[in-house]
Structure formats: C-alpha cells, structure tokens
Amino acid sequence: GDLDKVVNLLLSLSGRLARVETALGSLGPHAPAEDKVGMGQGGTCGASGHGGRREEAVGAMVARYLPAEPLQDYQHFVKMKSALIAEQRELEEKIKLGQEQLRCLRESL
C-alpha cells in the first residue's frame, strides 16, 4: 500500500511539473515575471527522499525474515508493481493530454 502511495505521489508531482513547464513555455518570453513565478511554485518537498528511506527500511525488515529465493521474488514483485503503476499513470496522463488537445482543437474550429 505504501509503495502505491509513494509511486502515485511521485508520478503525480512529475505530471504536474510537466504541465507547469508546458504552461510556462506557452506564456512566451514577454510574460510578466509574476505569472511565471506563481505558476512555477510547488515542488516535491522531499517526498522521494522519504519514500526511499521507507522502502529501504521495509526491504531490510523483509530481508531478515525471508530466505534468498522468496526475497528475490518479493523484490521482483515490488519492482514490477512500481513499473506497472508508473506505466498506468503515464497512460492516464497521455489520455488526459489527448482529451485536452482534442478539446482545444474543437474550440479553435
């Protein structure tokens, strides 16, 4: 459960960052500095550092109780689950972007 939360948080933050960068790029070079500063505020607040420490602590605890082969299975499971969550989130973001682009195209016609 914690893995899901951390991965989703990091993906959400990276998606927000990408949207802010896109919006900043669309403002153009002559936009007021206040607009750019206001749009760029946010940040990760150290979320990835906290998640990494927690993951290490859980991994160390699991390693104490599992023999080598089940431990490798567990590590593979965690790695694959993280990759699948990231892929799912990326696909959801692509769908949102496509829908937004379609909406903009319809409005421009």
53: exposed, middle or buried (Cβ count in 10 Å: 0-12, 13-18, 19+): exposed
Q: Tell me the per-residue pLDDT of 49-77, one tens digit each, with 9 for 90 and over.
A: 555 677 787 788 888 888 999 889 988 98
Q: Give 26-88 as a DSSP string.
A: HH-TTS-HHHHHHHH----TTHHHHHHHHHHHHHHHHHHHS-HHHHHHHHHHHHHHHHHHHHH
pLDDT(44) > 50: no
pLDDT of residue 38: 55
Q: Is the pTM of this model over 0.85?
A: no
